[in-house]
A = this chain, B = another copy of it.
Amino acid sequence: MSHNTFGHLFRVTTWGESHGPALGCVVDGCPPGIVFTEAEIQHWMDRRKPGQSRFVTQRQEADQVRVLSGVLARDDGALITTGTPVSMLIENTDQRSKDYSEIARRYRPGHADYAYDRKYGLRDYRGGGRSSARETAARVAAGGLARKVLPQVRIRGALVQIGKKTIDRNNWNWDCVDQNPFFCPDPKMTSEWEAYLDGIRKQGSSVGAVIEVVADGVPAGLGAPIYGKLDQDIAANLMSINAVKGVEIGNGFAAAEISGEQNADEMRIGDDGRPVFLSNNSGGIAGGISTGQQIVARFAVKPTSSILTERKSIDADGNEVDIRTKGRHDPCVGIRAVPIGEAMLACTLADHYLRHRGQTGRAGFEE
């Protein structure tokens, strides 16, 4: 039973709290012979790193990954996986635990404080403890390794909605995504979001968002029927990200509104003699199994619960209190959820690929 692990053949276990000395992950099941560098993992870490614009938390963390096991170093410094668990560690350096002392016994509205106390009878209140988004740094490290397991697959994400402001999909431009602080794919929306979020930020308020993650190059046949469905695992793994309240695949909720004729993805034989789909309402998954089309998933992130406006709450002693949450917070946690969503999709696909292909991809009886 996995409280802190996800995946079956590509298994990721994360550990660590917001204000502990370090956090990290253990990736169990990574196939042998994968070549990578710490810098390649760091590339993905840096996309998620806090403090990179005024629209995200001002906590300063280098988020430097150290690989502690599961690899051999080549002469050129590259690492080769050996098939044994890859342990990766990230030190926490910029904790400010005193910011939190006044909420040690108070339940911040919208946060998990009350639920944790009811479950465990105690909690690490410093920066949200285990429920902090800092835990997701470990996911991104694991996702970096997962991408290496699937070199043929390209996994990308973008922010498609902030508050009620939704991009125009006709303007979608992947090149735009890395050229603004929002992972926004619509060049015409960037400045609008900037002004909007500046207003939110100055009010000490926050707002929700919707993220889309896609994978190109996924072969047909990944997934399994009924309770091992690829879309089910994508849903679970995206829903495990902090603050996520909804997940959809392909058409998603919009599928409820249309007819069977509109929704069916028709097929033809392409010029190269291979099957082609004429649309992708399914988001690349039918009956829980990949069809070979682009995998498309979206998830909704609620507004950051840590806000400066006073809200009604109670404390652990049963007193009514009013709370304003200080500290350094993201006005829209959805922004940094983009690289996290990509990482979760990468890990999910690596896991299903290994289920399909086996632990090592090496021959058995055939040899």
Q: How far is the CB of A4 from the nearest CB of chain B, in Å?
A: 5
A239 at interface, CB cutoff 8 A = yes
For chain A, give the interface size range. Answer: 35 or more
- For A362, list chain B residues within 8 Å (CB): 119-121, 221, 356
Nearest residue (CB) in B for A262 is B303
Nearest residue (CB) in B for A287 is B112
- For A53, list chain B residues within 8 Å (CB): none
Q: How far is the CB of A3 from the nearest CB of chain B, in Å?
A: 4
Q: How far is the CB of A354 from the nearest CB of chain B, in Å?
A: 7
Q: Which of B24, B72, B121 is close to A87, meaning CB atoms less than 8 Å apart?
A: B24
Contact status B240-A246, CB under 8 Å: no
Contact status B6-A288, CB under 8 Å: no
Q: Which of B9, B15, B80, B357 is close to A69, meaning CB atoms less than 8 Å apart?
A: B15
Contact status A259-B200, CB under 8 Å: yes
- For A87, list chain B residues within 8 Å (CB): 15-16, 22, 24
A11 at interface, CB cutoff 8 A = yes
Which 3 pairs between the two chains have the least Cβ-Cβ distance? A112-B287, A246-B248, A206-B260
Contact status A208-B69, CB under 8 Å: no
Q: Mark A183-196, 1 if CB is under 8 A from B, else 0.
A: 00000000000000
A5 at interface, CB cutoff 8 A = yes
Nearest residue (CB) in B for A28 is B4
Q: How far is the CB of A359 from the nearest CB of chain B, in Å?
A: 5
| Segment of A37-45, A57-65, A167-175, A222-230 in the binding face | A222-230
- For A318, list chain B residues within 8 Å (CB): 269, 273, 275
Contact status B260-A219, CB under 8 Å: no
Contact status A227-B206, CB under 8 Å: no
Q: Which of B119, B208, B278, B309 is close to A257, meaning CB atoms less than 8 Å apart?
A: B208
Contact status A205-B68, CB under 8 Å: no
A-B contact pairs, 30 of them (CB 8 A): A1-B29, A2-B227, A4-B26, A4-B28, A4-B85, A4-B227, A13-B28, A15-B70, A17-B69, A17-B70, A82-B120, A84-B129, A109-B266, A116-B289, A118-B291, A119-B289, A130-B225, A162-B256, A210-B256, A227-B240, A231-B245, A235-B236, A245-B251, A251-B302, A268-B320, A269-B314, A269-B320, A273-B318, A278-B312, A356-B358
Q: Which of A124, A252, A364 has the largest number of chain B CB atoms within 10 A?
A: A364
CA distance A220 to B120 in the complex (A): 11
Contact status A119-B223, CB under 8 Å: yes
- A269-298 CB contacts (< 8 Å) to partner B: 269, 273, 275, 278, 281-283, 285-292
- A4-51 CB contacts (< 8 Å) to partner B: 4-6, 8-9, 11, 13-17, 20-24, 26, 28-29, 32-33
Q: Which of B131, B255, B360 is close to A356, meaning CB atoms less than 8 Å apart?
A: B360
Q: How far is the CB of A333 from the nearest CB of chain B, in Å?
A: 10
Contact status A232-B236, CB under 8 Å: yes
CA distance A123 to B83 in the complex (A): 8
- A113-152 CB contacts (< 8 Å) to partner B: 114-116, 118-124, 129-131, 135, 152
